[in-house]
Structure 1
């Protein structure tokens, strides 16, 4: 049933203002209002599928939240690093990108977006990190605080000789003292 609007979309006439944001215009889009409809009917049938493929490639953002972390990946390839800001505010991560009008292959364009993501419980806003990859994907990561259960693992550190060796040394020292006592004259021995 989700494909039904895309299939029926072909029945309605196309206009240049119907372009999906971020997708290129085809030459048919310019000719649709000028040329007779029957000439373009076959191409019009194929066009929605081309749009579906382009929309599927442009996922925009992905959110992953598991027991260890909350992570957002956002495609910001149209923005320079200094045009993007990431901040936390009232339990939300707010990502904003804005660039002034500039020339591209289709003319002039200016872009601005704001995205807000609620931080899940267990995420400390002070530990949120962001990274921008060379291909324009912004990753925002918030590690979740582990629950303390008044239980803590204590590391074991090895020091000194093993107990058996210490006991053997003590026995050896004890027998050496006995030998020394036996060698001393009886006059000096105290009873």
Structure 2
């Protein structure tokens, strides 16, 4: 048995658990894609708690000579401009889970001239 660097082991475990991810965070949307090909849709859970997005996978396999369990959890704190009311998730037949949410547009700031109004100072009685 040979030892592998920790980073490589973690990356390999993530790959085996089906956790390789791609994140797109641009001005229009936030999109997260996970490779979960080793999980069935019923073994996955996508939750939103406030602005925290949580994706969990749990798979239990009973075999004739043993039992195995595979799990993963991923969490992201969503930025304030993500419209959490419009989050959608979908899973392709080849095992890619996608979560996507549009970003809210910021109110546009328009430029304009503000006219200066002329006011008359009140006169003091009889004095110049």
> In 1, distance between residues paired with 2:90 and 2:41?
10
Task: Specify whether residues 94 and 14 from structure 1 end up closer, same or farther in structure 2 by C-alpha distance, changes over 3 A only.
Answer: same
* Structure (1 or 2) with the larger CA radius of gyration: 1
**Would you say 1:115 and 2:74 are equivalent positions?**
yes
Aligned to 1:80: 40
- Deviation of the 1:21 alpha carbon: 6.6
> In 1, distance between residues paired with 2:81 and 2:11?
36
Which residue of 91, 94, 102 corresponds with 1:132? 91
> In 2, distance between residues paired with 1:21 and 1:120?
27
> In 2, distance between residues paired with 1:75 and 1:88?
20
Structure 1 residues 40-51: aligned runs within 5 Å: none
Aligned to 2:57: 97
Structure 1 unaligned blocks of 5 or more: 1-12, 24-54, 152-191
> In 2, distance between residues paired with 1:94 and 1:122?
18
TM-score (normalised: structure 2): 0.66
Contact 2:19 2:72 in 1 (8 A): no
> In 2, distance between residues paired with 1:100 and 1:127?
32
> In 1, distance between residues paired with 2:92 and 2:35?
10
Structure 2 unaligned blocks of 5 or more: 111-128
Number of residue equivalences:
102
Task: Specify whether residues 112 and 70 from structure 1 end up closer, same or farther in structure 2 by C-alpha distance, changes over 3 A only.
Answer: same
> In 1, distance between residues paired with 2:27 and 2:86?
16
Q: Which runs of 4+ in 1 moved over 3 A?
A: 18-23
Higher helix share: 1
CA deviations on 1:21-76 (whole Å, 9 max, x unpaired) are 796xxxxxxxxxxxxxxxxxxxxxxxxxxxxxxx7xx8701111000000111011
Q: RMSD over aligned Cα, in angstroms? A: 3.1
- Deviation of the 1:149 alpha carbon: 2.7
> In 2, distance between residues paired with 1:131 and 1:77?
13
Higher strand share: 2
